[in-house]
Structure 1
Amino acid sequence: MTGLGVLLARRGEKAEAETWYRRAATAGDTDAMTGLGVLLARRGEKAEAETWYRRAATAGNTDAMFNLGLLLARRGENAKAETWCRRAATAGDTSAMNNLAVLLTRRGENAEANAWRRRAADAGDTSAMNNLAVLLTRRGNNAEAETWCRRAADAGNTGAMYNLGVLLARRGENAEAETWYRRAADAGNTGAMYNLGVLLARRGENAEAETWYRRAADARHASAMNRLAALDAETVAWRRFARKSDV
């Protein structure tokens, strides 16, 4: 029943997926409880989602522990969120390790946060790798930051692709930076779209630069909107000048 629910949910048949998740969850399957919680949370039914997450988490399901921690953190109940993230992290859930690190950082416990972040990164969590790289960059440890960025980027993390592009561009390796910006931009990363536009504009490829600015602006990237507005203003000003020159 749970497997059928998963298949149906993946192809967008959420109503039928919910039916099978409910049957399996009622029969005690914790994966079904978690899947049902996810469906409910996505359509805004947070209270019932929490109920199912708690049942599954109490029964030992680490995915449910993580999701419950995330739900609690989003409504500001950080202490309770940390409790569930710790349980899942201690059980080996790398996403929970990464989220626990975020919660610990918020209250200034950086040493423990970094320990969990490294555990998650060493275990292959690409989000943790990327977060660790950001932290290392802030400390000025660019060499190790690049190592983690590359590992995460090679594994498909678009945030890491973008951050690797930034590191490379800062030291003047624009060709490789462009490669990573393009990969991230093609995957939907708006920061990469904007930075790719900046890089292209600097070498005079204004038409393609504008294309990327527009894509980033359409995705609500503020700097891209401003850059695009400036370009549009320049175009209007030039057209007015051209008309006056013709006269």
Structure 2
Amino acid sequence: MLALIGMSATSPTRAQSADLVLCDRVAADPGDPDKPADVRGVAEIAPADVATAIKFCRVAAGGSRRALYQLGRAYAANRQGTEAVSAYRKAADKGSTSAMVELGVLLATGAGGTTDEAQARKLFERAAEAGNPRGVTNLAALSKGGVLADPVKARTLLAKTAETNAEAQYQLGIMMADGVGGPKDDVAARGLFEKAAAQGHAGAMERMGAFAQSGRGGPQDTSAAKAFYEKAAALGNEDAKAALKRAECPMAIRDKRGNLVTNLCW
């Protein structure tokens, strides 16, 4: 980091590059279509990295819509709701589909201080039409009376994006596994999870672990299941961590009512 800061003091161009590198390192979203393939991203910005993210993303945001979106993530992690909405809105205006999704979520839920479902729907539609998988699924999930708005359309839109996008593969796999928006197809779902897992998608790795463990949609393979769980857990996936814990402590002790008392480990 000291080397990067040293470079930033001598060249405005390289300073911007260094700021963006540091912004990406602590605040990039793994599912952001704008994220370069060589940037890993973090599901959540670590509390210890929030100040660093705000500092460097704020500077990098002047020349990068990705950094502007990541600045919004940093503000949100720091509970600066007004600033997060402002950053997301500016990034969305510049074409960031991830910012459209996040801003839409805030407007749909009222978490940003204002509830505007109509505007949220428009943002999700823009993101979905641009191929953002989360835009597609959020558009489908924007509900009235607890009923999915249009899961069939969501599945169709995801299928168009799933050729190359790991998040789309994962989301489409979930819909196929659950039979949402079309027929249930465990084999196809497993194939999609496998493709997304190969691209480093933690959620898909966890699903591959579950499918391999139970033999769902393909052969049962406990060794492969454990490997998938371990990879997903290393990326912070809580479901995978829980699955590994259950494997270590498989014997459940329950009371007369069937409530879990403890697990025996070996």
Q: Report the TM-score range of the alignment, normalised by the length of the smaller protein.
A: 0.5 to 0.7
Cα distance, 1:118 vs. partner?
Answer: 1.5
Separation (CA, whole Å) in 2 of partners of 1:17 and 1:60: 18
Cα distance, 1:174 vs. partner?
Answer: 2.6
Separation (CA, whole Å) in 1 of partners of 2:54 and 2:152: 42
Structure of greater Rg: 1
Within 5 Å, give how 1:160-179 maps onto structure 2. Answer: 160-169=168-177, 170=179, 171-179=183-191
Please tell me whether the aligned partners of residues 197 and 205 of structure 2 are also in contact (alpha carbons under 8 angstroms): yes
1:104 paired to 2:107 = yes
Corresponding residue number in structure 1 for 2:199: 187
Please tell me whether the aligned partners of residues 33 and 56 of structure 1 are also in contact (alpha carbons under 8 angstroms): yes
| Identity in percent | 25
Separation (CA, whole Å) in 1 of partners of 2:16 and 2:22: 10
Q: Report the TM-score when normalising by structure 2.
A: 0.63
Which residue of 153, 169, 172 maps to 1:144? Answer: 153
Cα 1:116/1:31, change in 2 over 3 Å: farther
Separation (CA, whole Å) in 1 of partners of 2:216 and 2:14: 58
Please tell me whether the aligned partners of residues 190 and 216 of structure 1 are also in contact (alpha carbons under 8 angstroms): yes
Cα distance, 1:168 vs. partner?
Answer: 2.2
- For 1:225, the aligned partner's letter is L
Cα 1:33/1:194, change in 2 over 3 Å: closer
Aligned length: 214
Deviations 1:196-224 (A, max 9, x none): 22551587x44x1x234313443252563
Corresponding residue number in structure 1 for 2:247: 228
Separation (CA, whole Å) in 1 of partners of 2:93 and 2:79: 22
1:113 paired to 2:120 = yes
Q: Note the aligned Cα RMSD (angstroms).
A: 3.7
Cα distance, 1:86 vs. partner?
Answer: 0.8
Deviations 1:151-197 (A, max 9, x none): 3322222x332332232233342322221122233334233223422
Higher helix share: 1
Q: Report the TM-score when normalising by structure 1.
A: 0.67
Cα distance, 1:71 vs. partner?
Answer: 0.7
Corresponding residue number in structure 2 for 1:197: 212
SS of structure 2 residue aligned to 1:139: coil
Structure with bigger RCO (C-alpha 8 Å, 6+ apart): 2
Structure 1 residue ranges without an equivalent (≥5) = 1-13, 235-247
Separation (CA, whole Å) in 1 of partners of 2:193 and 2:50: 36
Corresponding residue number in structure 2 for 1:128: 135
Structure 2 residue ranges without an equivalent (≥5) = 28-44, 253-266
Cα distance, 1:68 vs. partner?
Answer: 1.8
